[in-house]
Amino acid sequence: MDFISGISWWMWILIVLLIVAIRDIFIQKAHTISHNYPIVGHLRYMLEKIGPELRQYLVANNREELPFNRIERGWVYASAKHENNYEGFGTERDIYAHQHIFINNAMMPFKPKENHPNEIDKTFLPCAKVMGLHNKRKKPFRPASVINVSAMSFGSLSAKAVESLNKGVKMAGAYHNTGEGGLSPYHSYGGDVIFHFGTGYFGVRNEDGTFSLEKLVKLVEDNPSIRAIEIKLSQGAKPGKGGVLPASKITKEIAAIRHVELGKDVLSPPNHSAFTTIPEMVDFIEKIAEATGLPVGIKAAIGKLEQWEELADLMIKTGKGPDFITVDGGEGGTGAAPPSFADHVSLPWVYGFSDLYKLFQRKELTDRIVFIGSGKLGFPAKAAMAFAMGADCINVAREAMMSIGCIQAQVCHTNRCPSGVATQSKWLQSGIDPTLKSARLAQYFKTFRKEFIEITHAAGYEHPCQFKMSDIEINVDDHNLSKELNKTYMYNKTHVPFTDMQDLKDCIYLGGNN
């Protein structure tokens, strides 16, 4: 005892370092660097671990990071908090850079008349099209907001995050897409809901994992906030990739919501079991629309066009088909995906959407479909470009997450999200106050719509559906520095029938809190 108590503190440090060195050289086999450079080799692993944070906080410039740079994140945060989201001294962007977007302003902006809906509410911006009207569904739906929350399930997001999003869309009059994980109690605070399911049919599945129409009909009957149904074919971050929900992640609550067994891995296969061909898919859509009365759409990332061509031809022949199509860009987010998929499979939004829209336009089908775009489109200028190309609504996932506190730590797949947004850890999500965060989501949407309306007015229009391809220019290369969208992507969008905002406000199908 006397011997041990006689060892001085610096001797203890030396002893600990000696033990670490012995472990590094003789015991551990996993790390060559630690073996070859005992003790100091650990510094490399430590720095590598905190590298992303160091770069984000200290090193990266304002426009450098991906998926969202500091300026973009800052704009969402400031908008959500209703803080000053302006910048001083002029743009800090290189507006001659490749892919930079310009909106052609009118000589004189659009001037709303007295009592115009936007004079009363500067954030009033519903969708110009009605989902399900063409196909004569029993309950057509006009989204009351052109910006909405994209598919993200309870399971990939925390209960507190889902609750904040649902309460937020209710305040903003937007809709909330459930994502693949079923309709949870946290989706049920009164905001409009688009019920979304993929190949796992979570929440509407039989014991053997096949789709149950009876369960879907019951779900819709019990939950009048469900305004439309979205069938997921694919998403931009991992098209054609199935998934496994490991048994360890299945809590009692998740098992009950998704209708899966506790203690067993659950498979989401790459393909649907409810249909295997395009005609079968159209029949499936019709069956669901008939049984629920709701508009039914599909979500997909775009690559090859042959099967889309088949769908379009079938729509012409039968007069049936989806009421809306959500086009997700290859740049889209996910809770977890292999980089080989996230980086390379499926086209970025502008290429995928323009290919698809052109195809449906050639077949004169664009009037029958509400086009929804997602893939880093949650910024007013990007949205203007998307609308000019033919989008009718925008879905946002990660931007919505940021508005409720996500710091882009990019660890959604580890269950260790520091902001409590994308984790099931009770401790990590306990810092989220849904009352405060829902107000932030609502404020982000309202600020977005207000700025989008202002940009629209600056271009001489009343509603963004009036944007034409030729209104937006994009830098293409050095010789031909900027080119209008119609010349770059080789089409003009079809005219969207629009009378005025008052007409949309008076629409009997208008969603939100109306």
Ligand X SMILES: Cc1cc2nc3c(=O)[nH]c(=O)nc-3n(C[C@H](O)[C@H](O)[C@H](O)COP(=O)(O)O)c2cc1C
Instruction: List contacts with ligand X (CB under 6 A).
Output: 150-153, 156-157, 179-180, 232, 235, 299, 328, 332-335, 374-376, 378, 396-399, 412, 422
- Alpha-carbon gap, residue 190 to 223, rounded angstroms: 10
Instruction: Tell me whether residue 285 or residue 501 sits nearer to ligand X (CB atom).
Output: 285
Q: Answer yes or no: are the C-beta atoms of 157 and 422 closer than 8 Å.
A: yes
- Alpha-carbon gap, residue 110 to 257, rounded angstroms: 48
Instruction: Tell me whether residue 134 or residue 376 sits nearer to ligand X (CB atom).
Output: 376
Q: Which token pair is 116? A: 């115009």
Instruction: Tell me whether residue 258 or residue 457 sits nearer to ligand X (CB atom).
Output: 258
Query: Judging by DSSP bridges, how do beta strands 472-475 and 482-484 pair with one another?
Result: antiparallel
Q: Answer yes or no: are the C-beta atoms of 503 and 117 closer than 8 Å.
A: no
Half-sphere exposure of 8 (CA within 13 A, CB side): 1
Nearest approach, Cβ of residue 326 and ligand X (Å): 8
Burial class (CB in 10 A: 0-12, 13-18, 19+), 217: middle
Please give the biggest Cα pair distance in the chain.
95
Map 111-174 to HEC letters: CCCCCCHHHHCCCCECCCCCECCCCCCCCCEECCECEEECCCCECCECHHHHHHHHHHHHHHCC
Map 360-421 to HEC letters: HHHCCCHHHCEEEEECCCCCHHHHHHHHHHCCCEEEECHHHHHHCCCCCCCCHHHCCCCCCC
Instruction: Tell me whether residue 225 or residue 235 sits nearer to ligand X (CB atom).
Output: 235
Nearest approach, Cβ of residue 178 and ligand X (Å): 8
Q: Report the candidate in 97, 92, 58, 60 with the shortest Cα–Cα distance to residue 75.
A: 92
Nearest approach, Cβ of residue 86 and ligand X (Å): 23
Q: What is the SS3 assignment for 311? A: helix
- Alpha-carbon gap, residue 55 to 85, rounded angstroms: 24
Instruction: Tell me whether residue 324 or residue 461 sits nearer to ligand X (CB atom).
Output: 324
Alpha helices in 173-292 (DSSP H): 213-222, 252-258, 278-292
Nearest approach, Cβ of residue 153 and ligand X (Å): 4
- Alpha-carbon gap, residue 275 to 177, rounded angstroms: 23
Q: Is there a cis peptide before residue 269, judged by omega within 30 degrees of 0?
A: no
Instruction: Tell me whether residue 272 or residue 468 sits nearer to ligand X (CB atom).
Output: 272
Nearest approach, Cβ of residue 89 and ligand X (Å): 29
Nearest approach, Cβ of residue 70 and ligand X (Å): 17
134, 232, 204, 394: CA torsion to nearest 10: -60
Distances (CA, A) of 49 to 43, 67, 235, 448: 10, 19, 30, 35
Q: Which token pair is 356? A: 């698809």
Distance of CA 498 to the CA centre of its chain: 27
Nearest approach, Cβ of residue 303 and ligand X (Å): 15
Instruction: Tell me whether residue 140 or residue 182 sits nearer to ligand X (CB atom).
Output: 182
Instruction: Tell me whether residue 34 or residue 145 sits nearer to ligand X (CB atom).
Output: 145
Nearest approach, Cβ of residue 16 and ligand X (Å): 41
Q: Report the candidate in 368, 367, 385 with the shortest Cα–Cα distance to residue 376.
A: 385
- Alpha-carbon gap, residue 404 to 444, rounded angstroms: 9
